[in-house]
Amino acid sequence: MARPKRNCGIAAVLDIETTGLRARDDEILELALTLFRYDRITGEVVETVGEYDGLREPRCPIPRGASRIHGITRPMVSGLRLDYRRVRTMLRQAEFVIAHCAGFDRGFVERLMPSFRNAIWLCSRDGVEWRAHGLESRSLEDLAGAHGIKNARPHRAGGDVATLLALLSCRPPRRKPYLYELLRNAGVIGSRRRRGNRPARRPRRSS
């Protein structure tokens, strides 16, 4: 039997690939996001409700070092632009946005779409106590490998989004999903069932 949607919220997982590491000087080459429904009580991922993955041509050069990492070259993005209307529509449905290094992704996204400067970001790298679960590395690649999750497109935004959502859906032994821990630490959900559909308190914004 399907879980009643009255206990569910909608959030987004987002990832980007860029020309470099500085949001002031570098630009987004690829942006991917997945909207998903989650259970506000258990922290479980219930279903995917929307997906987007797009490339854009930057105004600045694409360094060879960056291309070696994600494989995106100038010919691949020539003349392409993101579907900004679709991205905005999807992000406006999300109560919050999850990224594995939220401070990095947020800087680039806010520069490209200033209307999302008030969006709430949660960081899956810093918001889950990975070491308490016996995991020394916090890199998405290492965490996915430790849980037997294969990234079909490593170092590409779409592949990393799918990998992160799969990771957050995993349950450590005798525990609730990692998504629950992330949302609990951010103040989105708590250990006790609450009345209504709204979060217990407004989550902290990632810096």
- The pLDDT score that the predictor gives to residue 189 is 86
- The pLDDT score that the predictor gives to residue 4 is 52
Is residue 193 situated within a structural domain?
Answer: no
Over the chain, what is the mean pLDDT?
A: 91
Higher-confidence position of 147 and 1: 147
Are the C-beta atoms of 15 and 100 separated by less than 8 Å?
A: yes
Is residue 36 situated within a structural domain?
Answer: yes
- The pLDDT score that the predictor gives to residue 13 is 98
Q: Which tens digit of pLDDT belongs to each residue from 157-167? A: 999 999 999 99
- The pLDDT score that the predictor gives to residue 5 is 66
Q: Which tens digit of pLDDT belongs to each residue from 34-83? A: 999 999 999 999 999 999 999 999 999 999 999 999 999 999 999 999 99
- The pLDDT score that the predictor gives to residue 140 is 98
How do strand 97-99 and strand 121-123 relate by DSSP bridges?
A: parallel
Q: Is the dihedral of CA 190, 195, 196, 201 positive or negative?
A: negative
**What's the pLDDT band for 173 if we cut at 50, 70, 90?**
confident
- The pLDDT score that the predictor gives to residue 195 is 37
Range of the domain at 68: 5-185
Residue environment code for 129-146, b if the CB has 16+ CB neighbours within 10 A, otherwise e: ebeeeebeeeebeebbeb
- The pLDDT score that the predictor gives to residue 48 is 97
- The pLDDT score that the predictor gives to residue 117 is 94
CA 145 – CA 8 distance, rounded (Å): 29
CATH number, residue 158: 3.30.420.10
Are the C-beta atoms of 101 and 16 separated by less than 8 Å?
A: no
Domain count, the chain: 1
Whether 191 shows a pLDDT value over 70: the answer reads no
Average pLDDT of the segment spanning 183-202:
61
Average pLDDT of the segment spanning 77-91:
97
